[in-house]
Amino acid sequence: MANEQITREEVEHVASLAKLALTDTAAEMFTDHLGKIFDVVTALAEVDTEKVKPTYSVTEMHTVLRDDVANNAHQSQELLHNAPEHQDTLIKVPAILDGGAKD
């Protein structure tokens, strides 16, 4: 988005995709805020970082990770008993695409 600005229509379109209702005031506010954010990103993209080494962490701390072990994996039937609807081992949820969601 070199010289482009985000439009109110684009903000409203993204909000509708996220199934969010925006007031006129909120749409104007988000258009202004997102425009400023995009301006900062554009300015950062113009910075020459050719000779700068990548920095993954500014501290010398190391993350200690534990083994990923499943606990209580045998409780799938108890989980399915808590679900409003299920079929076999799957939980059924309402459709949210193609206009299937309730307002």
Between helices 8-17 and 24-45, what is the axis angle to 10°? 100
Residue 27 has pLDDT above 70, yes or no: yes
Residue pair 99/92 in contact (Cβ under 8 Å)? The answer is no
Provide the percentage of residues in the chain whose pLDDT is more than 70. 91
Residue 11: exposed, middle, or buried by beta-carbon count in 10 A (0-12, 13-18, 19+)?
buried
pLDDT at 1: 42
pLDDT at 68: 84
pTM of the model: 0.49
pLDDT at 98: 66
